[in-house]
Structure 1
Amino acid sequence: MTTVGESHLQHGMRLRFKNQEATLVIQNIQFSHCGVYRWHLSGQGSSNKFTTLTVSEPPTISKENGCLICRATNVKAGRRIIWSNDLPRRQTEFTSTQDATGLFNLSSSQLWNDSFYSNPPCCKVMDEKGSQELCAQTCYTSAIVEKSSEVKQFPLFIMAQEGDTINITCTTTGKSSGLYLKRSTIRLIEVIHFSKKNKSIITKSYENRTIVSGSLNNLMITITNVQLNDTDVYTCEATTSDNLLGTGTIVVVTEKKWKKEDGNLKNSQVEVVLIVISFFIGLALWPLFMMMKKWVHKVRRTQNPSGSVYEDMSYAMQRNTTFQDNQYS
């Protein structure tokens, strides 16, 4: 055989030819590559020699009793588990006896560290010298999910008047790439999007009256000069694989009770103000009026006592005359 070059096969395999030598190269080895490989020369039949390829499945990682444990099943002796980080770990342990096929189960563990939430470690199986990877690595991405992701927002209800300023706070736990505040009932509008790079995109109708403060995990959104058409349900939404939603904030905007027009109150409102002021003035002066009335009456009686006697005598004579008329009738 004098051919020089390569021949690509399926599933990441290729043949490499050089002089009198042929080499089968398998890249990105998978569990499906397991099997017996035997050379077959044209015209000379199959070779009696063969190579058995055993590929271990990717290891599994789990958090148990304060430790992070990596387990690999059905691996040959002389292989070990290595981690992607440099934290202290226990030596690779054989957790089963050698079976009929000469395979073992392996495990390796290290103490749990809270940094795994932001930087999940990975593990993989290598040969004893650490020069050849024997399976795909597995990363503990479930560590992020384990720290439950949720979105909270408050307040639940806001009653405001035209021109007021309102605040809505969104808090998130877990990992997200961004946060939306959306109107979700009367009008479907993305009011604002805040990214993990602290960049915000505000929709045009809110552009000049929306202020954002805080971080992605604790964001306060301030909307100034609210109007009647701002009434809606405002919902916080975290950008995750599941797009988590907050409980929602109901915002109700009403007309302003004392609205100025050209610097003056409306005529109807002026009338109401005058009526109210007059009522309270009258209520305050009523006791004084009653006191003055009693005082004037007393002064008049003091200045004209004879008039009072005359009135009493006239009244008595009138009664006597009436009585006599009744006797003769």
Structure 2
Amino acid sequence: QQGVLPAEVRQYPPYAIAPEGGSVDITCSTSGSLFGVYLKQRWPRPSSVIYYEDQKEPTVDEQFRGRIVFSGRQHNLTVTVHRLQPADTGAYACQAVAKDEVWGPGTLVVVTDKPPEAADTSREAPLIRFSFPVALAMGCFFIGLALGATCVLRRTQIKKLCRLKDKNPACVVYEDMSCGNRNTVSIPNVYQ
């Protein structure tokens, strides 16, 4: 008897840039035992965009009603959001509904200004739009998150290496005196 495989979620594209009034596709591909699939907006306002389960009526958030189209089945579902609005800018993630909570890597959606020929000329366009600062903030957030995780992981690895009972040569600290003032008395290395 084979065991039940855990769910795994793949999601693409990693980012999408579309004009206001345009559309964007987000595909959630899952494997393993699965009850259904959520597409959730995780930032800036956490909300469940849709819940989809094969052979059942999908649930669509009020903000997206009339603008969502589905294609495929729950194991390979493409969600298309039409008539994009600046408020749709954000981070979206697929979530597999299985025994455990399993998330996809996420899709950053940036909604840009309307093209000039489609813009409303009766109003003056604001100088600063919502989408650029949001995209910039998201980029900085993800870069900072990645750098922080890397630093914590590296520090943990170094601590583990230096805690070994027999001193590892990688933990010995050497002092380079080649560029210093040669007329001073050297100080013993206190780190050994």
Q: 1:162 to 1:267 in 2, by over 3 A?
A: closer
1:143 aligns with 2:25: no
What CA deviation, in whole Å up to 9, does each residue of 1:252-310 have, x standing for no partner? 1111131343xxx56989xxxxxxxxxxxxxxxxxxxxxxxxxxxxxxxxxxxxxxxxx
CA distance in 2, matches of 1:184, 1:154: 16
Quote the RMSD (CA, aligned, Å): 2.0
Contact preservation (8 Å) 1:183, 1:234: yes
Determine if contact 1:198/1:215 at 8 Å carries over to the other structure: no
Deviation at 1:196, TM superposition (A): 3.2
* Equivalent position SS for 1:164: coil
TM-score by length of 2: 0.60
Q: Whole-Å Cα distance in 2 between the matches of residues 198 and 172 of structure 1?
A: 18
Q: Indicate conservation of the 8 Å contact 2:40/2:94, yes or no.
A: yes
Amino acid at match of 2:102: L
How far residue 197 of structure 1 moved from its aligned partner, in angstroms, is 2.7
3-state SS of 1:143 partner: coil
Measure the CA separation in 2 of the matches of 1:267 and 1:232: 26
Question: Counterpart in 1 of 2:49?
Answer: 191
In 2 relative to 1, CA 206–268 (structure 1 residues): closer, same or farther, beyond 3 Å?
Answer: closer
Describe the SS at the equivalent of 2:101: coil
Which structure carries more strand by proportion? Answer: 1
Q: Does 1:240 align with 2:117?
A: no
CA distance in 1, matches of 2:67, 2:33: 29
> Alpha-carbon deviations, 1:114-151, whole Å to 9, x = none?
xxxxxxxxxxxxxxxxxxxxxxxxxx4x6222xx5200
Give the Cα–Cα distance (whole angstroms) in 2 for the partners of residues 184 and 268 of structure 1: 32
Pairing partner for 1:158 from 16, 20, 29:
16
State the identity as a percent. 32
Which of structures 1 and 2 has the larger relative contact order (alpha carbons within 8 angstroms, sep 6+)? Answer: 2
Report the residue type matching 1:256 in the other structure. K
Which TM-score applies when normalising by structure 1? 0.36
Counterpart of 1:76 in structure 2 is none
C-alpha change, 1:188 and 1:267, in structure 2 (3 Å) is closer
Distance in 1 (CA, whole Å) between partners of 2:88 and 2:124 is 27
Q: Which runs of 5+ in 2 are unaligned?
A: 126-192
Distance 1:244 1:267 in 2: 45
Give the whole-Å Cα distance in 1 for the aligned partners of 2:123 and 2:94: 43
Q: Structure 1 residues 174, 260: closer, same or farther in 2, change over 3 A?
A: same
Structure 1 stretches lacking a partner, 5+ long? 1-139, 270-329
Structure 1 consecutive aligned stretches of length 4 or more whose deviation exceeds 3 Å: 265-269
1:223-250 per-position Cα deviation (integer Å, ceiling 9, x unaligned): 0000101011000000011111000000
> Against the structure 1 CA distance between its residues 144 and 187, is the aligned structure 2 distance closer, same or farther, given a 3 Å change threshold?
same
- Aligned residue for 1:325? none
